[in-house]
Amino acid sequence: MNSRVLGGFLSAALLLAVVSGAVEPDSAAAAATTVCHPALRAISVGPASVPGGAPTTVTATLTCAPAKPLAVTLTGSSGVTVPRSVTVPAGKISAAAGVRTAISKTTIRRSVTGAVGTVRKSATVTITPTPKTCANPVLRSASLATLAYVGNRPTLTVGLSCAAAAPVRITLKSSDSFLPVPAAVTVGKYYASAAVALTPKADEEGRFTATITITSGKTVMRKTITVDPGISNVAIDPNIGYPDQINLVVLTAGIVPAGGLTVKLSSNSPAVTVPATFVVPAPSVGSEVLGVVVNQVSKNTTVTISATLGGVTKSASYVLVPPWTNRGSVTIGPENGPGPLYGLENYVDYYLSLSDPAPASGLTADVSRWATRTPCSSSCRRRSRSPPGRRARTSRSTSRT
Protein backbone atom coordinates (compact mmCIF):
# COMPACT_ATOMS: atom_id res chain seq x y z
CA MET A 1 0.00 0.00 0.00
CA ASN A 2 1.45 3.43 -0.91
CA SER A 3 2.05 6.19 1.64
CA ARG A 4 -0.86 8.30 0.38
CA VAL A 5 -3.34 5.46 0.89
CA LEU A 6 -1.86 4.59 4.30
CA GLY A 7 -2.07 8.23 5.32
CA GLY A 8 -5.73 8.31 4.29
CA PHE A 9 -6.54 5.33 6.48
CA LEU A 10 -4.67 6.83 9.43
CA SER A 11 -6.51 10.13 9.02
CA ALA A 12 -9.85 8.33 8.92
CA ALA A 13 -8.94 6.36 12.03
CA LEU A 14 -7.91 9.52 13.90
CA LEU A 15 -11.13 11.29 12.91
CA LEU A 16 -13.23 8.40 14.15
CA ALA A 17 -11.31 8.42 17.42
CA VAL A 18 -12.11 12.12 17.85
CA VAL A 19 -15.79 12.08 16.96
CA SER A 20 -16.69 8.78 18.65
CA GLY A 21 -17.57 8.70 22.32
CA ALA A 22 -17.49 5.80 24.73
CA VAL A 23 -20.81 4.07 25.28
CA GLU A 24 -21.57 3.22 28.85
CA PRO A 25 -22.99 -0.31 29.26
CA ASP A 26 -26.28 -0.79 31.03
CA SER A 27 -25.95 -1.52 34.70
CA ALA A 28 -25.90 -5.27 35.32
CA ALA A 29 -27.45 -4.69 38.72
CA ALA A 30 -30.39 -2.82 37.16
CA ALA A 31 -30.89 -5.60 34.61
CA ALA A 32 -30.87 -8.20 37.35
CA THR A 33 -33.75 -6.48 39.12
CA THR A 34 -35.94 -6.42 35.97
CA VAL A 35 -38.90 -8.74 36.40
CA CYS A 36 -40.24 -10.44 33.26
CA HIS A 37 -43.94 -11.20 32.92
CA PRO A 38 -43.99 -12.62 29.39
CA ALA A 39 -47.06 -12.25 27.22
CA LEU A 40 -47.61 -13.11 23.57
CA ARG A 41 -46.54 -10.13 21.45
CA ALA A 42 -47.03 -11.46 17.93
CA ILE A 43 -47.49 -14.45 15.61
CA SER A 44 -45.88 -14.21 12.17
CA VAL A 45 -45.64 -16.53 9.15
CA GLY A 46 -42.83 -16.50 6.63
CA PRO A 47 -42.94 -16.86 3.73
CA ALA A 48 -46.42 -15.40 3.99
CA SER A 49 -47.31 -16.69 0.52
CA VAL A 50 -46.52 -20.24 -0.67
CA PRO A 51 -47.77 -22.59 -3.40
CA GLY A 52 -50.20 -25.22 -2.15
CA GLY A 53 -48.31 -28.15 -0.66
CA ALA A 54 -45.18 -26.13 0.16
CA PRO A 55 -44.09 -25.60 3.77
CA THR A 56 -43.71 -22.32 5.63
CA THR A 57 -42.72 -21.29 9.16
CA VAL A 58 -44.66 -19.78 12.07
CA THR A 59 -42.83 -17.68 14.68
CA ALA A 60 -44.18 -16.83 18.13
CA THR A 61 -42.70 -13.74 19.80
CA LEU A 62 -43.08 -12.80 23.47
CA THR A 63 -42.91 -9.39 25.15
CA CYS A 64 -39.82 -10.44 27.15
CA ALA A 65 -37.59 -13.45 27.76
CA PRO A 66 -39.13 -15.91 30.27
CA ALA A 67 -37.15 -17.32 33.18
CA LYS A 68 -38.26 -20.85 32.22
CA PRO A 69 -39.54 -22.42 28.97
CA LEU A 70 -42.96 -21.16 27.92
CA ALA A 71 -45.32 -23.04 25.58
CA VAL A 72 -47.38 -21.13 23.00
CA THR A 73 -50.48 -23.01 21.83
CA LEU A 74 -50.93 -23.09 18.03
CA THR A 75 -53.98 -23.71 15.84
CA GLY A 76 -54.41 -23.52 12.07
CA SER A 77 -57.49 -23.04 9.93
CA SER A 78 -58.55 -25.46 7.17
CA GLY A 79 -55.71 -26.24 4.77
CA VAL A 80 -52.98 -25.39 7.30
CA THR A 81 -51.41 -27.93 9.64
CA VAL A 82 -49.39 -26.76 12.65
CA PRO A 83 -48.00 -28.49 15.77
CA ARG A 84 -50.08 -28.21 18.94
CA SER A 85 -47.58 -25.83 20.46
CA VAL A 86 -44.15 -24.25 20.13
CA THR A 87 -41.93 -23.72 23.18
CA VAL A 88 -39.94 -20.52 23.72
CA PRO A 89 -36.74 -21.47 25.61
CA ALA A 90 -35.74 -19.72 28.84
CA GLY A 91 -33.85 -16.50 28.11
CA LYS A 92 -35.22 -16.21 24.55
CA ILE A 93 -38.13 -14.16 23.25
CA SER A 94 -39.19 -16.21 20.22
CA ALA A 95 -39.44 -19.71 18.77
CA ALA A 96 -40.42 -21.11 15.36
CA ALA A 97 -42.18 -24.21 14.06
CA GLY A 98 -42.94 -25.71 10.64
CA VAL A 99 -46.28 -25.29 8.91
CA ARG A 100 -47.68 -27.61 6.24
CA THR A 101 -50.12 -26.41 3.59
CA ALA A 102 -52.64 -28.39 1.56
CA ILE A 103 -52.72 -28.86 -2.21
CA SER A 104 -54.91 -26.15 -3.72
CA LYS A 105 -56.41 -25.36 -7.12
CA THR A 106 -57.15 -21.74 -6.27
CA THR A 107 -55.63 -18.98 -4.19
CA ILE A 108 -56.88 -19.12 -0.62
CA ARG A 109 -56.04 -17.30 2.60
CA ARG A 110 -55.75 -19.14 5.87
CA SER A 111 -54.73 -18.19 9.40
CA VAL A 112 -52.38 -19.45 12.10
CA THR A 113 -53.25 -18.52 15.69
CA GLY A 114 -51.11 -18.60 18.82
CA ALA A 115 -52.23 -18.24 22.43
CA VAL A 116 -50.64 -17.72 25.83
CA GLY A 117 -53.30 -17.60 28.52
CA THR A 118 -56.07 -15.32 27.33
CA VAL A 119 -53.86 -13.46 24.84
CA ARG A 120 -54.32 -14.60 21.24
CA LYS A 121 -52.51 -13.40 18.11
CA SER A 122 -52.99 -14.46 14.48
CA ALA A 123 -51.18 -14.26 11.14
CA THR A 124 -52.41 -14.86 7.61
CA VAL A 125 -50.81 -17.22 5.09
CA THR A 126 -51.72 -17.05 1.39
CA ILE A 127 -51.77 -20.37 -0.45
CA THR A 128 -51.50 -20.08 -4.22
CA PRO A 129 -52.48 -22.81 -6.73
CA THR A 130 -50.24 -25.86 -6.61
CA PRO A 131 -48.06 -25.81 -9.77
CA LYS A 132 -47.50 -28.69 -12.13
CA THR A 133 -44.14 -30.26 -11.30
CA CYS A 134 -41.52 -32.25 -13.18
CA ALA A 135 -39.19 -34.96 -11.91
CA ASN A 136 -35.96 -33.73 -13.54
CA PRO A 137 -35.81 -29.93 -13.66
CA VAL A 138 -32.62 -28.35 -15.01
CA LEU A 139 -30.92 -25.07 -14.20
CA ARG A 140 -32.37 -22.56 -16.62
CA SER A 141 -31.33 -19.10 -15.36
CA ALA A 142 -29.26 -17.12 -12.87
CA SER A 143 -29.42 -13.39 -12.14
CA LEU A 144 -27.28 -11.02 -10.08
CA ALA A 145 -26.75 -7.27 -10.10
CA THR A 146 -23.59 -6.19 -11.92
CA LEU A 147 -22.73 -3.48 -9.36
CA ALA A 148 -23.12 -3.33 -5.58
CA TYR A 149 -21.63 -1.43 -2.65
CA VAL A 150 -20.31 -2.66 0.66
CA GLY A 151 -23.35 -2.53 2.92
CA ASN A 152 -25.71 -3.75 0.16
CA ARG A 153 -27.29 -7.23 0.13
CA PRO A 154 -27.26 -8.14 -3.58
CA THR A 155 -29.53 -11.09 -4.36
CA LEU A 156 -28.52 -14.08 -6.46
CA THR A 157 -31.58 -15.79 -7.97
CA VAL A 158 -31.48 -19.19 -9.68
CA GLY A 159 -34.30 -20.58 -11.81
CA LEU A 160 -35.28 -24.08 -12.94
CA SER A 161 -36.99 -25.23 -16.13
CA CYS A 162 -40.10 -26.20 -14.12
CA ALA A 163 -41.41 -26.47 -10.56
CA ALA A 164 -39.52 -29.19 -8.72
CA ALA A 165 -41.25 -32.38 -7.63
CA ALA A 166 -38.54 -32.78 -4.99
CA PRO A 167 -35.96 -30.37 -3.52
CA VAL A 168 -33.09 -29.51 -5.90
CA ARG A 169 -29.65 -28.62 -4.52
CA ILE A 170 -27.58 -26.12 -6.54
CA THR A 171 -23.94 -25.56 -5.57
CA LEU A 172 -22.30 -22.13 -5.41
CA LYS A 173 -18.69 -20.95 -5.41
CA SER A 174 -17.19 -17.45 -5.30
CA SER A 175 -13.88 -16.41 -6.84
CA ASP A 176 -13.21 -13.82 -4.11
CA SER A 177 -13.28 -14.25 -0.33
CA PHE A 178 -14.62 -10.70 0.01
CA LEU A 179 -17.89 -11.98 -1.51
CA PRO A 180 -18.70 -15.15 0.45
CA VAL A 181 -21.52 -17.42 -0.72
CA PRO A 182 -23.15 -20.48 0.86
CA ALA A 183 -21.98 -23.86 -0.41
CA ALA A 184 -25.41 -24.47 -1.94
CA VAL A 185 -28.94 -23.13 -2.31
CA THR A 186 -31.95 -25.44 -2.37
CA VAL A 187 -34.99 -24.97 -4.60
CA GLY A 188 -37.86 -26.42 -2.59
CA LYS A 189 -40.60 -28.76 -3.70
CA TYR A 190 -43.31 -26.96 -5.73
CA TYR A 191 -40.89 -24.07 -6.44
CA ALA A 192 -39.15 -23.14 -9.70
CA SER A 193 -36.64 -20.67 -8.23
CA ALA A 194 -34.70 -19.75 -5.12
CA ALA A 195 -32.83 -16.66 -3.97
CA VAL A 196 -29.94 -16.00 -1.62
CA ALA A 197 -28.87 -12.59 -0.28
CA LEU A 198 -25.12 -11.97 -0.39
CA THR A 199 -23.07 -9.78 1.97
CA PRO A 200 -19.97 -8.24 0.37
CA LYS A 201 -17.10 -7.50 2.74
CA ALA A 202 -14.99 -4.34 2.73
CA ASP A 203 -11.67 -4.57 0.91
CA GLU A 204 -9.27 -1.83 2.02
CA GLU A 205 -7.96 -1.68 -1.56
CA GLY A 206 -11.44 -0.55 -2.62
CA ARG A 207 -13.19 -1.91 -5.72
CA PHE A 208 -13.07 -5.63 -6.47
CA THR A 209 -14.76 -7.97 -8.93
CA ALA A 210 -16.00 -11.46 -8.08
CA THR A 211 -17.44 -14.28 -10.17
CA ILE A 212 -19.96 -16.74 -8.75
CA THR A 213 -20.11 -20.20 -10.30
CA ILE A 214 -23.53 -21.90 -10.16
CA THR A 215 -23.68 -25.65 -10.81
CA SER A 216 -26.58 -28.08 -11.09
CA GLY A 217 -25.76 -31.47 -12.59
CA LYS A 218 -23.93 -30.84 -15.87
CA THR A 219 -25.20 -27.26 -16.17
CA VAL A 220 -22.79 -24.53 -15.11
CA MET A 221 -23.48 -20.78 -15.10
CA ARG A 222 -21.35 -17.84 -14.00
CA LYS A 223 -22.34 -14.37 -12.84
CA THR A 224 -19.88 -11.51 -12.27
CA ILE A 225 -20.39 -8.56 -9.93
CA THR A 226 -18.30 -5.45 -9.18
CA VAL A 227 -18.31 -4.27 -5.57
CA ASP A 228 -17.38 -0.69 -4.66
CA PRO A 229 -16.68 0.57 -1.13
CA GLY A 230 -19.76 1.90 0.62
CA ILE A 231 -20.16 4.56 3.28
CA SER A 232 -18.59 3.42 6.55
CA ASN A 233 -19.38 6.51 8.60
CA VAL A 234 -20.70 10.07 8.52
CA ALA A 235 -19.12 12.31 11.15
CA ILE A 236 -19.38 15.87 12.42
CA ASP A 237 -16.27 17.08 14.26
CA PRO A 238 -17.41 18.35 17.70
CA ASN A 239 -14.09 20.12 18.33
CA ILE A 240 -14.17 22.55 15.45
CA GLY A 241 -14.69 25.51 17.82
CA TYR A 242 -17.55 27.03 15.82
CA PRO A 243 -20.89 25.91 17.31
CA ASP A 244 -22.81 27.49 14.45
CA GLN A 245 -20.69 25.86 11.74
CA ILE A 246 -20.54 22.21 10.71
CA ASN A 247 -17.53 20.26 9.52
CA LEU A 248 -19.14 17.23 7.84
CA VAL A 249 -16.99 14.27 6.79
CA VAL A 250 -18.03 11.19 4.79
CA LEU A 251 -15.80 8.12 5.21
CA THR A 252 -15.79 5.07 2.94
CA ALA A 253 -15.10 1.38 3.57
CA GLY A 254 -12.13 1.32 1.19
CA ILE A 255 -10.18 3.35 -1.35
CA VAL A 256 -12.53 5.27 -3.64
CA PRO A 257 -12.17 4.08 -7.27
CA ALA A 258 -11.32 6.32 -10.22
CA GLY A 259 -14.13 8.75 -10.97
CA GLY A 260 -15.13 9.06 -7.30
CA LEU A 261 -18.29 8.00 -5.53
CA THR A 262 -21.40 10.20 -5.74
CA VAL A 263 -23.18 10.41 -2.39
CA LYS A 264 -26.69 11.80 -1.89
CA LEU A 265 -27.01 14.26 1.01
CA SER A 266 -30.00 15.47 3.03
CA SER A 267 -30.72 17.54 6.13
CA ASN A 268 -33.75 17.20 8.37
CA SER A 269 -33.79 20.90 9.27
CA PRO A 270 -33.86 24.20 7.35
CA ALA A 271 -31.20 25.39 9.80
CA VAL A 272 -28.64 23.51 7.71
CA THR A 273 -28.68 23.16 3.94
CA VAL A 274 -26.46 20.68 2.13
CA PRO A 275 -25.78 20.05 -1.55
CA ALA A 276 -28.01 17.40 -3.11
CA THR A 277 -24.97 15.31 -4.01
CA PHE A 278 -21.29 15.24 -3.22
CA VAL A 279 -18.49 13.35 -4.96
CA VAL A 280 -16.00 11.65 -2.64
CA PRO A 281 -12.79 11.93 -4.68
CA ALA A 282 -10.44 9.10 -5.66
CA PRO A 283 -8.20 7.67 -4.30
CA SER A 284 -9.23 8.81 -0.82
CA VAL A 285 -11.04 6.93 1.95
CA GLY A 286 -13.26 9.90 2.73
CA SER A 287 -13.59 13.63 2.40
CA GLU A 288 -14.94 16.76 4.03
CA VAL A 289 -18.20 17.85 2.41
CA LEU A 290 -18.06 21.33 0.92
CA GLY A 291 -21.06 23.60 0.48
CA VAL A 292 -22.72 23.04 3.87
CA VAL A 293 -24.57 26.25 4.88
CA VAL A 294 -25.59 26.91 8.49
CA ASN A 295 -28.38 29.37 9.22
CA GLN A 296 -28.76 31.24 12.51
CA VAL A 297 -31.11 29.64 15.04
CA SER A 298 -33.04 31.22 17.91
CA LYS A 299 -32.81 28.21 20.22
CA ASN A 300 -30.76 25.05 20.58
CA THR A 301 -31.56 23.00 17.48
CA THR A 302 -30.57 19.39 16.79
CA VAL A 303 -29.83 18.80 13.11
CA THR A 304 -29.34 15.40 11.49
CA ILE A 305 -27.46 15.16 8.19
CA SER A 306 -27.64 11.93 6.17
CA ALA A 307 -25.54 10.53 3.34
CA THR A 308 -26.78 7.74 1.05
CA LEU A 309 -24.84 5.53 -1.34
CA GLY A 310 -26.24 2.44 -3.04
CA GLY A 311 -29.34 2.47 -0.86
CA VAL A 312 -27.34 2.51 2.39
CA THR A 313 -27.76 5.59 4.59
CA LYS A 314 -25.51 6.82 7.40
CA SER A 315 -26.30 9.85 9.56
CA ALA A 316 -24.75 12.23 12.07
CA SER A 317 -26.37 14.78 14.39
CA TYR A 318 -25.23 18.10 15.81
CA VAL A 319 -26.71 20.75 18.11
CA LEU A 320 -26.72 24.34 16.82
CA VAL A 321 -26.88 27.10 19.45
CA PRO A 322 -28.23 30.65 19.09
CA PRO A 323 -25.94 33.74 19.07
CA TRP A 324 -24.56 35.19 22.31
CA THR A 325 -26.65 37.83 24.11
CA ASN A 326 -26.05 39.79 27.30
CA ARG A 327 -27.85 36.99 29.10
CA GLY A 328 -24.91 34.72 28.30
CA SER A 329 -21.56 34.52 30.05
CA VAL A 330 -18.00 35.58 29.20
CA THR A 331 -14.77 34.14 30.59
CA ILE A 332 -11.12 35.00 29.96
CA GLY A 333 -8.00 33.02 30.81
CA PRO A 334 -4.45 32.25 29.68
CA GLU A 335 -3.97 29.50 27.12
CA ASN A 336 -1.72 27.42 29.37
CA GLY A 337 -3.50 28.12 32.63
CA PRO A 338 -2.49 30.37 35.55
CA GLY A 339 1.13 30.50 36.64
CA PRO A 340 4.12 32.81 37.19
CA LEU A 341 6.00 34.47 34.32
CA TYR A 342 9.81 34.43 34.16
CA GLY A 343 12.34 36.39 32.12
CA LEU A 344 12.64 39.94 30.97
CA GLU A 345 9.69 39.72 28.59
CA ASN A 346 7.04 37.10 28.09
CA TYR A 347 4.10 36.86 25.79
CA VAL A 348 0.98 35.07 26.98
CA ASP A 349 -2.03 34.20 24.84
CA TYR A 350 -5.35 34.78 26.55
CA TYR A 351 -8.66 33.40 25.34
CA LEU A 352 -11.96 35.22 25.58
CA SER A 353 -14.71 32.59 25.65
CA LEU A 354 -18.43 33.14 25.13
CA SER A 355 -21.13 30.79 26.33
CA ASP A 356 -22.68 31.00 22.82
CA PRO A 357 -21.28 32.00 19.40
CA ALA A 358 -20.87 35.64 18.49
CA PRO A 359 -23.65 37.11 16.31
CA ALA A 360 -23.26 37.63 12.57
CA SER A 361 -21.96 41.17 13.07
CA GLY A 362 -19.24 39.99 15.43
CA LEU A 363 -18.76 41.04 19.06
CA THR A 364 -16.30 43.59 20.53
CA ALA A 365 -15.16 43.29 24.15
CA ASP A 366 -13.13 45.74 26.23
CA VAL A 367 -10.23 43.90 27.89
CA SER A 368 -8.21 45.49 30.74
CA ARG A 369 -5.36 44.20 32.91
CA TRP A 370 -4.16 45.08 36.35
CA ALA A 371 -0.65 44.62 37.80
CA THR A 372 -0.10 44.22 41.54
CA ARG A 373 3.27 46.02 41.54
CA THR A 374 3.53 48.03 38.34
CA PRO A 375 0.86 50.69 37.78
CA CYS A 376 -1.10 50.12 34.60
CA SER A 377 -0.91 52.88 32.01
CA SER A 378 -3.59 53.69 29.48
CA SER A 379 -1.90 51.32 27.05
CA CYS A 380 -2.97 48.41 29.25
CA ARG A 381 -6.53 48.72 27.96
CA ARG A 382 -7.26 47.12 24.64
CA ARG A 383 -10.24 45.96 22.63
CA SER A 384 -10.75 42.40 21.50
CA ARG A 385 -13.12 41.45 18.72
CA SER A 386 -14.69 38.04 18.35
CA PRO A 387 -15.55 37.21 14.72
CA PRO A 388 -19.03 35.96 13.83
CA GLY A 389 -19.70 32.46 15.02
CA ARG A 390 -16.61 32.10 17.21
CA ARG A 391 -16.77 31.32 20.89
CA ALA A 392 -13.11 32.17 21.57
CA ARG A 393 -10.73 34.95 20.62
CA THR A 394 -6.96 34.91 21.18
CA SER A 395 -5.52 38.05 22.78
CA ARG A 396 -1.79 38.63 23.43
CA SER A 397 -0.68 40.23 26.67
CA THR A 398 2.89 41.49 27.41
CA SER A 399 4.50 41.26 30.83
CA ARG A 400 7.78 43.00 31.68
CA THR A 401 9.78 42.34 34.86
198: left (phi over 0), alpha (psi -120 to 50) or beta: beta
- 165 & 124 share domain: no
Per-residue pLDDT, averaged over 23-33, amounts to: 45
Does residue 361 register a pLDDT over 50? yes
Using the 3D structure, point to which of 291, 320, 349 is the last residue of a domain: 320
Overall domain count for the chain: 4
Using the 3D structure, point to which of 188, 203, 228 is the last residue of a domain: 228
- 339 & 373 share domain: yes
**Tens digits of residue pLDDT in 162-183:** 999 999 999 999 999 999 999 9
- 152 & 80 share domain: no
- 339 & 389 share domain: yes
CA distances (Å), origin 284, targets 151, 257, 260, 277, 379: 18, 9, 9, 17, 51
User: Running DSSP on this structure, what letter comes out for residue 268?
Assistant: S
Q: How far apart are CA 113 and CA 136, in angstroms?
A: 37
Does residue 299 register a pLDDT over 60? yes
Q: Is 399 helix (H, G, I), strand (E, B) or coil?
A: strand
- 170 & 149 share domain: yes
pLDDT of 373: 53
Per-residue pLDDT, averaged over 291-301, amounts to: 89
Q: How far apart are CA 189 and CA 165, in angstroms?
A: 5
Using the 3D structure, point to which of 261, 285, 320 is the last residue of a domain: 320
Q: Is 267 helix (H, G, I), strand (E, B) or coil?
A: strand
- 143 & 182 share domain: yes
With respect to residue 378, please indicate whether it lies within any of the assigned structural domains: yes
With respect to residue 191, please indicate whether it lies within any of the assigned structural domains: yes
With respect to residue 23, please indicate whether it lies within any of the assigned structural domains: no
Q: Which domain holds residue 280?
A: 231-320
- 179 & 252 share domain: no
With respect to residue 367, please indicate whether it lies within any of the assigned structural domains: yes
**Tens digits of residue pLDDT in 319-339:** 888 877 777 788 887 776 666
User: pLDDT exceeding 90 applies to what percent of the chain?
Assistant: 65
- CATH code where residue 147 lies: 2.60.40.10
Least confident range from 20-29, 60-69, 141-150: namely 20-29
Q: How far apart are CA 105 and CA 127, in angstroms?
A: 10
- 87 & 105 share domain: yes
Does residue 24 register a pLDDT over 70? no
Does residue 375 register a pLDDT over 70? no
**Tens digits of residue pLDDT in 200-256:** 999 999 999 999 999 999 999 999 999 999 999 999 987 765 666 789 999 999 999
- 334 & 369 share domain: yes
- 167 & 196 share domain: yes
With respect to residue 10, please indicate whether it lies within any of the assigned structural domains: no
pLDDT of 244: 66
Q: How far apart are CA 207 and CA 193, in angstroms?
A: 30
- 367 & 384 share domain: yes
Q: What does the mean pLDDT of the chain come to?
A: 84
Question: Closest by alpha carbon to 66, among 42, 35, 44, 43?
Answer: 35
User: Running DSSP on this structure, what letter comes out for residue 152?
Assistant: B
**Using an 8 Å Cβ cutoff, are 88 and 64 in contact?**
no
With respect to residue 371, please indicate whether it lies within any of the assigned structural domains: yes
Cis amide prior to 283 (ω within 30 degrees):
yes
Q: How far apart are CA 14 and CA 368, in angstroms?
A: 40
- Amino acid sitting at position 130: T
Q: Are strands 133-134 and 163-164 parallel, antiparallel or unpaired?
A: parallel
Neighbouring-strand partners of residue 156: 196
With respect to residue 12, please indicate whether it lies within any of the assigned structural domains: no
| Cβ-proximal residues to 223 (8 Å cutoff; 6+ apart), any chain | 142, 143, 144, 156, 211, 212, 214
With respect to residue 28, please indicate whether it lies within any of the assigned structural domains: no
pLDDT of 209: 98
**Tens digits of residue pLDDT in 105-161:** 999 999 999 999 999 999 999 999 999 999 999 999 999 999 999 999 999 999 999
- 140 & 223 share domain: yes
pLDDT of 356: 74
Rounded to two decimals, the pTM is 0.70
Confidence of residue 6 (pLDDT cuts 50, 70, 90): very low
